[in-house]
Amino acid sequence: MTTHIQRSALLPYPARFLYDLVNDVARYPEFLPWCAAAQVLESSDTHMRASLEIAKGGLSQKFVTRNTLVPGESLTMDLVEGPFSQLHGVWTFKALNDKACKISLDLSFDYSGALVRTTLGPLFNQAANTLVDAFCQRAKQLHG
């Protein structure tokens, strides 16, 4: 059963600033409470391979995504390995003017089995549903 989540927000920050914030994977553990570890495995101007470990209580799972980057405009994530049968997400950053942007996340995922769905499902669903809000708070913290 595939879960599909769409979230967006209008923010008083430039699109490039917000893109850079989302693309700064290594800093996710600083402000995403469910992110126990994050590592950039490969990086170029147009692609990144990154590993995230999500954790709560005694439960943790790691997954790897390949991210296709269009600097200042979009970031597309696709599953490489992890506890999902599929994971695909697209962040878009639409400049409204020099100092405002619409940030959107379109995410779909399914777990690799019933046990993973039962144990990891509630944590990942909560994380996915609050992701845009978490980045909005981080932007406010960093940019004022």
Domain count, the chain: 1
Query: pTM of the full predicted structure?
Result: 0.92
Listed in sequence order, the residues at least 6 apart from 3 whose beta carbon sits closer than 8 Å to its beta carbon are 108, 109, 110, 125, 128
CA angle 137, 123, 37 (to 5 degrees): 65
pLDDT tens figures, 19-71: 999 999 999 999 999 999 999 999 999 999 999 999 888 888 899 999 999 99
Listed in sequence order, the residues at least 6 apart from 33 whose beta carbon sits closer than 8 Å to its beta carbon are none
CATH of the domain at 41: 3.30.530.20
Instruction: Check whether 80 has a pLDDT greater than 90.
Output: yes
